Structure 1
Amino acid sequence: MSTLTHIPVVFDKSHLLTIGERLYSTSLDLIRELVSNAYDADATRVEIEIGAEEITVEDNGSGMDQKSLFQYFTIGSQEKRMHPLSPKFQRKRIGEFGIGKFSVLSIARKFALETWQRESQFRARVVFDAAKWSGERENWSIPCEVLPFDSVYSHGTRVSIQHIKKQLDSTSVARHIRERMPVGREDFRIFVNGAEVTATTIPGKRFPVFFMTPFGEASGEIILANLPATQRTIADAGITIRVKQISVTKSIFGFEASHSVGVSRLRGSVNADFLPITSSRDQIMWDSDQYKIFYAKMREIIFSVLREAHTLQLQKEITQASHVLRDALDKIGRAFKKNPEMFEEEGVSPPLGEYTSGAASQEGYVISKAEFVDGGTHIPPRGEIPDGTFEDLRAKPKRKHVILANRAVIRKMRFGNLGIVCRMERYGPKYPPSFLEEGIIFINIDHPLYRKQMENTPLLTMFISTLLTKELALKKHPNDSAAAYTLQHHLLTDAFKDVRKM
């Protein structure tokens, strides 16, 4: 015959302390936790003081009366779930689990909390000493000293972390708060050692994000950041995922291995309050239905942003090409001025283009303004194209964004009776860096050597000058490579000998 008995579920004190010590992956999160409590309490100002022996976090939030103070120390309290909005500013409350306050034990074994509230004329001080509290196994209470209320107090809370065993520096604390908390708001200002923590402005093109899911809305922005090349790394890239305005994690949503233009420039943040998070608030529940829908939608949006990034990059490259071509022609024009006899021999003039007439500039040469035309309108003869690439150069139906970005730039220079026409265009990495066709010098923007120099404008200018002088020299000496090389050498020397820095 069976018998029924009961087994008590026991929660040991040491386990609570261990959870507090190991709840977060970094000690900086304990400061974030205390600031989050201030946010939930409708604070408009939080002051953090980082000292060698003590850390204090004080806010001007609603404070607590005796009932609220009891509620504060109730582990797993349902208070914030039952009342998800703060009473004054209707903020979506961040806290959920009621255990984050014990995270201070990761750097200290003792903390004190003082709170005051004018409405209830209540002021009290609670001291939590982990060593004393854990030593009394049957007593779960902590001492609470009710203090006389003074009219100088309005409402607020101060947490003092004492006997610190691990130092935190103010710079790291400020950076962590900037990354994780909703800073830059007039109704919620945070100060670390007297200096306000302000939002960092990221320069770049902004793309607003807003979409609905069956679980709720998501909103924010994605930024194509304008950053130095040294900061454009996948490790630094990512869009911050926020829940209730608090940063949880950062993601590129599966584009980590992508070689698409712009991936390393992705920045921004998107807030989605419906996403379930872990108790430590530093990870999303990746296998949840909410996140799967959010993830799929974000991939669609990022794909559109990266397509725009590709178009912008192509447009930027063609603009750069126009500028460096102007500089290259200017340097070659100066070389012509120093050697006017080089192209005056019979049967030589002009090696390119048509004869031009009209007065020259004071420099002796004239360079036209850039002319931008649709790319792909000129297809060189088949014999000039490497095997397997001819079909790729033929006109094909293209998406609109490709057509808009695939532009060519044309500039002309006149020196005496010599006319030079240069066209910079995209022909693919397998095509030669330059070629001469129908009196026009073509330069291939897609060639690997061209792209190698793009981060250094002076070197790119010299590379283009090398290509231009090569085509000019070969035109004048088509059957004498030594003479062509010597001519190119003289032109480049005169063009760049006065350049101090490359």
Structure 2
Amino acid sequence: MNGVPPLTLKFDPRTIEHLGVRMYSHVPNAVAELVANAYDADATRVEVRIGVDRSIAVVDDGHGMSRDEVADKYLHIGRNRRRAEQSVMTESGKRRVSGKKGLGKLALFGIGRVVEVTTTRMGSPYGTRITMSYQDLIDSDGDYRPAEESLLVDGAEHGTKVVLTDLRRKTPIDPEKLATSLSRLFNYTDDDFRLIVVDSKSGETEVSRERRLESLDQEFTWRFPNDFGDDDSFLVEHDVRGVIVSTVRPLRNVPRGVTLYSDGRMVNEPEFFGASESSHAYSYLTGHLDVDFVDALDEDVIATDRRALVWDSAEMETLRRSLAELLTRIGREWRTRRSDERKRRSRRRTGIPTEEWMESIRSRESRRAVEAVLDHVSSEDFDLTADQEATLIEDLHRLAPPYADYVWRRLHPEIQEASRTAYEGGAYHAAIVEGIKRYVAEVSRRTGIPRKNEADVINGAFGKNGKLKIFGKYLNAYDFTSETADNIEVGQHDLSAGLRMAFRNPISHEESEALQSSGALTYEDCLDALSILSHLMRRLDGAERR
């Protein structure tokens, strides 16, 4: 239109404040942008140097930039490198470009007010240095010109050095913590790429993928794609890879959840993607997965600060749902594996074989009750230490030992000694027979009646005129009638004779098995008979010779 000025889109310099200071207020996230630039420049070694003057410098041996490239590329805010250069690969063609939005350079003002960039293009005798001041940038009218100088350099020199000074952070930077934080922001797998944090006091600290998990007391590990299941077809088809681990104790200083990476850079902070089952397990789970395909989608689904993906599209929603289902399954597997491992650990510490212990308790109700207590003791809800758990199991073992039904009957020690082997072997008729034999032997010893005939021993020992008085000591101490005493003496005889007649009469081995397999003689019948024998034996303990 004649005489009318063209429409112009203007940028307020304060935009830098929102895209830099507000979005990148943490040192690792801002430094990560420089590391990504170095990676995209095909650098093989990148050093993050912490200066004694409270400066941070990121130095790489990449191909560097010419002055024209600084002007047209580095100082071009919002330049999409992949679109501009029509390639997703770096200059060498060996790496996929990890940067895309062209906003990372603004991150530097989030941690330092002065940024100095010194760069030399590979093969050039000249280098370029620019210095940018955050305050000058904010005070400009939107057309900012940084300080510039040209440098004469060694022809073999190349790469870029970015120095951040006048830091906003007032506290010292811990090199170990910085290295660990950076390890969580990158997942580069190139063998020819090294990232190192350098400090004048502590020296060099390597940043590696393993650093994220190596300090953890790991318990279980899931490695992908090997541990994907039939329901993880979407993740398999999209070549998702990585590792998820669980720890022995709840995570404290390490983020819980799974971090997502694409082309070596974090694109989604640790989370569980909406998985709701087995939430207790999530206190123990962490890991990382590579979802490189999201960076190749037509739609840009990676947020500017690379802390979260945009889940709006159908494919991204399928990814989120698939991850949630995967973590739900891992949560269930964790509970099962954790429970089994705790049982094995307790068995090693206590020497108690839990499965055999439970199987030895014949009463279904009693067994279920003991199992319930064991499950509670081993439950993650209690989160006991191994020592605490072992102590409780040992106490429970004393309270409800193997063959607890047998022990709980409080059998007479002599009867228990005589019958234990047969009872624990499941030979219930033999257990009763051994108990009777021990009882008759003790009666014979006390009376002197030979054991040639068990009936003669019992008949001679008990009754009104037997050699042993079962109730004599009570008759003199209390005002019982003689009739009461006679009845008890006869009762001892009749119970002894009846028990012997019911179980001691010789029967063949096959008939004994038939009794048990048919249900005609159960472990409960055995315990009842041994309990009667114990009663008779305790009466015998207090017997007197006539």
Report the TM range for the smaller structure's normalisation.
0.5 to 0.7
Amino acid in the other structure paired with 2:271: S
Cα displacement string for residues 281-321 of structure 1 (whole angstroms, at most 9, x for unaligned residues): 11111323332011122233334433433442343244346
Distance of aligned partners of 1:150 and 1:320 in 2 relative to their CA distance in 1, 3 Å threshold: closer
Structure-1 residue corresponding to 2:541:
none
Amino acid in the other structure paired with 1:409: E
- Tell me whether 1:467 sits opposite 2:395 in the alignment: no
- Tell me whether 1:141 sits opposite 2:145 in the alignment: yes
| Paired residues of 2:119 and 2:160 also in contact (CA < 8 A) | yes
Greater Rg over alpha carbons, structure: 2
Structure-2 residue corresponding to 1:59:
60
Amino acid in the other structure paired with 1:161: L
Distance of aligned partners of 1:424 and 1:240 in 2 relative to their CA distance in 1, 3 Å threshold: farther
- Tell me whether 1:169 sits opposite 2:154 in the alignment: no
3-state SS of 1:161 partner:
strand
Q: Greater CA deviation, 274-283 or 264-273?
A: 264-273
Distance of aligned partners of 1:424 and 1:16 in 2 relative to their CA distance in 1, 3 Å threshold: farther
Of 286, 299, 302 in structure 1, the residue corresponding to residue 324 of structure 2 is: 299
3-state SS of 1:154 partner:
coil
- Tell me whether 1:313 sits opposite 2:313 in the alignment: no
| Mapping for residues 355-370 of structure 1, pairs under 5 Å | none
How big is the alpha-carbon RMSD for the aligned residues of Structure 1 and Structure 2?
3.5
3-state SS of 2:304 partner:
coil
Give the distance between the partners of 2:362 and 2:318, measured in 1 at CA.
42
Of 278, 284, 292 in structure 1, the residue corresponding to residue 303 of structure 2 is: 278
Distance of aligned partners of 1:139 and 1:229 in 2 relative to their CA distance in 1, 3 Å threshold: closer
Amino acid in the other structure paired with 1:80: R
Of 84, 87, 96 in structure 2, the residue corresponding to residue 83 of structure 1 is: 87
| Paired residues of 2:119 and 2:158 also in contact (CA < 8 A) | yes
- Tell me whether 1:178 sits opposite 2:183 in the alignment: yes
Cα displacement string for residues 41-89 of structure 1 (whole angstroms, at most 9, x for unaligned residues): 1111111111243111101111112232121110111323332211225
Q: Post-superposition shift, 1:124?
A: 1.1
| Paired residues of 1:241 and 1:269 also in contact (CA < 8 A) | yes
Distance of aligned partners of 1:450 and 1:43 in 2 relative to their CA distance in 1, 3 Å threshold: closer
Give the distance between the partners of 2:165 and 2:19, measured in 1 at CA.
19
Distance of aligned partners of 1:21 and 1:297 in 2 relative to their CA distance in 1, 3 Å threshold: same
| Mapping for residues 72-111 of structure 1, pairs under 5 Å | 72-81=74-83, 82-88=86-92, 90-111=94-115
Give the distance between the partners of 1:286 and 1:241, measured in 2 at CA.
13
| Paired residues of 1:42 and 1:62 also in contact (CA < 8 A) | yes
- Tell me whether 1:45 sits opposite 2:37 in the alignment: no
| Paired residues of 1:50 and 1:169 also in contact (CA < 8 A) | no
TM-score, length-normalised on structure 2?
Answer: 0.60
- Tell me whether 1:189 sits opposite 2:190 in the alignment: no
Quote the sequence identity (%): 22
Structure-1 residue corresponding to 2:224:
208
Give the distance between the partners of 2:103 and 2:286, measured in 1 at CA.
32
Amino acid in the other structure paired with 1:21: V
Structure-2 residue corresponding to 1:160:
163
| Mapping for residues 256-275 of structure 1, pairs under 5 Å | 257-259=276-278, 262-275=281-294
3-state SS of 2:107 partner:
helix
Flag the structure with higher strand content: 1
| Paired residues of 2:255 and 2:270 also in contact (CA < 8 A) | no
Distance of aligned partners of 1:22 and 1:290 in 2 relative to their CA distance in 1, 3 Å threshold: farther
Cα displacement string for residues 10-32 of structure 1 (whole angstroms, at most 9, x for unaligned residues): 11223224422122253431111
| Mapping for residues 89-488 of structure 1, pairs under 5 Å | 90-137=94-141, 139-151=143-155, 153-167=156-170, 168-182=173-187, 185-193=190-198, 194-198=204-208, 199-200=210-211, 201=214, 203=218, 204-209=220-225, 217-225=238-246, 227-231=247-251, 236-248=255-267, 249-255=269-275, 257-259=276-278, 262-275=281-294, 276-320=301-345, 322-323=347-348, 326-327=351-352, 409-410=355-356, 423=360, 443-444=371-372, 447-449=375-377, 451=379, 455=386, 456-468=389-401, 474-476=408-410
Give the distance between the partners of 2:304 and 2:377, measured in 1 at CA.
52
Structure-1 residue corresponding to 2:525:
none
Distance of aligned partners of 1:40 and 1:212 in 2 relative to their CA distance in 1, 3 Å threshold: farther
Q: Post-superposition shift, 1:324?
A: 5.7
| Paired residues of 1:239 and 1:250 also in contact (CA < 8 A) | yes
Give the distance between the partners of 2:106 and 2:187, measured in 1 at CA.
23
Q: Post-superposition shift, 1:162?
A: 1.6
3-state SS of 1:278 partner:
coil
Distance of aligned partners of 1:5 and 1:433 in 2 relative to their CA distance in 1, 3 Å threshold: farther
| Paired residues of 1:207 and 1:305 also in contact (CA < 8 A) | no
Amino acid in the other structure paired with 1:207: R
Gaps of 5+ in 1: 328-369, 371-407, 412-420, 436-441, 479-502
Aligned residues between the structures: 375
Flag the structure with higher helix content: 2
Distance of aligned partners of 1:186 and 1:423 in 2 relative to their CA distance in 1, 3 Å threshold: farther
